[in-house]
Chains A and B, each alone.
Chain A
């Protein structure tokens, strides 16, 4: 199956700092990548959809200026949590797919803890 990686796997930062999370498709080119957030004991909630070379589409209630998404190549998307606050602490998961209608493959997730 297709492999998607995320880096870092976990990060602890101080309130007010920015954190960048990388999502890479290792063995295929992903035209679209998705970013999800998962709070403890809850389901995955889609934050934004990112197509290579274009601006991300954010879900309702997700601040685009706080969660900056860049999809500069067909194998890399980044999520930057700007001016992080404790309430941003969560498990962030990306997924990637080759083309429209194809299966999404998920990364292993990044645990963010903001102190």
Chain B
């Protein structure tokens, strides 16, 4: 089935640096969601986007719903050690109720 193309697959950064990641799809998505998953835990919703062009912030996190409705990005500013984890993009394709996930991006933050 459909899977989102998420990049990069991993990043190693220094504390205080900014991080950017993105997701693309071959078809139109009605919603874009960004989740963070820590080892042994379920995904936790960070930001939800519902309209093309929408730009939403949650603390140091900012995400945008691409105007073509086929992409989204997530930025993390001034990273801190507790930002480590795996970040997944996900979305609803067309009118589907099913969530499609990206492969995830593993973030490592060096203090």
Q: Which residues of A contact B (CB under 8 A)?
A: 1, 4, 6, 32, 34, 42-46, 49, 59-60, 93, 95, 100-101, 103-109, 111
Interface residues on B, range: 10 to 19
Find A111's partner among B40, B48, B102 (CB 8 Å cutoff). Answer: B40
Residues of B within 8 A of A (CB): 1, 3, 33, 35, 40-45, 48, 88, 97-99, 101-104
Q: Which of B42, B98, B104 has the most CB of A within 10 A?
A: B42
The B contact surface, by secondary structure, is loop
- Across the interface, B101 reaches (CB within 8 A) one of A43, A59, A105, namely A43
Q: Which B residues lie within 8 Å of A34 (CB)?
A: 98-99
For this complex, 20 residue pairs linking A to B, each with C-beta atoms less than 8 Å apart, are: A32-B97, A34-B98, A34-B99, A43-B101, A44-B88, A45-B101, A49-B97, A49-B98, A59-B1, A60-B1, A93-B43, A95-B42, A100-B97, A101-B97, A106-B42, A106-B44, A107-B42, A108-B41, A109-B40, A109-B41
Max chain A C-beta neighbours (<10 A), residue from B88, B99, B104: B99
A1:B45 contact, CB within 8 angstroms: yes
* Docked complex Cα distance between A103 and B3 (Å): 19
**Cα distance, A45 to B48, chains bound together (Å):** 20
Closest chain-A Cβ to B51's Cβ sits at a distance in Å of 13
Contact B98 A44 (CB under 8 A): no
A7 to chain B, nearest CB (A): 13
Candidate in A44, A95, A105, A108 with the most chain B CB atoms within 10 angstroms: A44
Residues of chain B with a CB closer than 8 A to A103's CB? 33, 45, 48
